[in-house]
Amino acid sequence: MPPAFIVDPKEIDISHIVAGPDDIRKYNPHRFEVEQVHAILRYDTENQICIGLRHIRPDEWWCAGHIPGRPIFPGVLMCEYAAQTCSYYFMRSTGFNGFLGFGGLENVKFRGTVVPGDDFVMVTKVVEIRPRRAVFNCQGFVKDQMAYQGTILGMAV
């Protein structure tokens, strides 16, 4: 059974963008094929929530090989997308001079497929932020269906 929603996906407006690629690049060092967050839909320091958007395109590098004839967004990229959404929140809210690196993953579950043409929304919520470490709960949605859940542990590098 999926966990309770951090934010009800029916309440998320994917046309309401608060940060685009140029703003995201101010906080996240990822570039080119590794950039997973296309937009930020919500940056809420009061509730410690950040919501990212990723458009899954049919011309992406992984489509030809994962899975030929029926491309499915790789789970490892779902994890990276969640981590980059968390990184944006951490870097913007703390002003840390460096970057937030992967420290670990916990309780990751893939609950559905994400395919080309989908708008994949990632909801992240702070569990704790310390000067050198951050923990976030994450939930990824396609429309109102949860496709991903997990806990991201980040370490300040």
Active site residue 38: no
H, E, C per residue of the chain: CCCCCCCCHHHCCCCCCCECHHHHHHHCCCCHHHCCCCEEEEEECCCCEEEEEEECCCCCCCCCCCCCCCCCCCHHHHHHHHHHHHHHHHHHHHCCCCCEEEEEEEEEEECCCCCCCCEEEEEEEEEEEECCEEEEEEEEEECCEEEEEEEEEEEEC
Q: Which of 16, 38, 55, 66 is catalytic?
A: 66
Q: So which residues are the catalytic ones? A: 66
